């Protein structure tokens, strides 16, 4: 069975979700496109970005889209497989830029639905922790939870990655073979 149009991969921090999503892309014969949402403001983040680039290899088209995700997604073609990594950092950027998170999420969801390429969206599951102690963190957690629920509802295949192990939450496990 071929890979579905829209796959949603989520998991906790350092769970292996990005590596798993990349492995799906490596199985495809389509041109690989990486939509990067991270912004590297310090040495640690620059090292993380560099490690991800090395892991992927040089045969990916990389589009940096920390905020303006719509054009990055809608500019793709049927002959591509797109990995958007990650919705969590994108939403963080949206909130820190004081944009309307709900409206921005609607734009993201519409772009994913209209994307002509196969698309994989990676996101962090943020609902397993304690209630944050400040308003911005609570706003982020709630917005991320709503976004993840909307992405999962729209996706053909939803995979949760824990300790590097993928668990199919929605869709047919044969979609990954």
Active site residue 52: yes
Catalytic residue among 30, 52, 146, 170: 52
Q: Are 85 and 18 in contact (CB under 8 A)?
A: yes
| Residue 56 CA: distances (Å) to CA of 15, 73, 127 | 17, 19, 29
Angle at the Cα of 81 (from 77 to 82), degrees rounded to 5? 90
d(CA 27, CA 9): 16
Classify 41 as helix, strand or coil: coil
Beta bridge partners of 60: 32
* H or E element at residue 31: strand 31-36
Task: State the catalytic residues.
Answer: 52
């Amino acid at each position: 069975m071929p890979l579905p149009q829209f796959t949603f991969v989520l998991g906790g921090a350092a769970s292996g979700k990005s590596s798993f999503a990349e492995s799906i892309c490596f199985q495809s014969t389509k041109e690989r496109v990486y939509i990067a949402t991270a912004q590297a403001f310090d040495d640690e983040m620059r090292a993380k970005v560099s490690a991800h680039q090395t892991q992927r290899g040089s045969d990916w088209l990389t589009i940096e889209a920390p905020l303006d995700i719509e054009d990055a997604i809608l500019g793709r073609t049927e002959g591509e497989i797109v990995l958007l990594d990650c919705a969590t950092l994108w939403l963080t950027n949206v909130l820190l830029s004081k944009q309307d998170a709900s409206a921005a999420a609607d734009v993201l969801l519409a772009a994913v639905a209209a994307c002509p390429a196969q698309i994989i969206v990676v996101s962090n599951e943020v609902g397993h922790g304690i209630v944050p102690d400040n308003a911005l963190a609570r706003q982020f957690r709630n917005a991320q939870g709503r976004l993840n629920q909307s992405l999962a509802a729209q996706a053909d295949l939803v995979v949760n990655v824990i300790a590097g192990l993928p668990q199919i939450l929605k869709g047919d496990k044969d979609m990954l073979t």
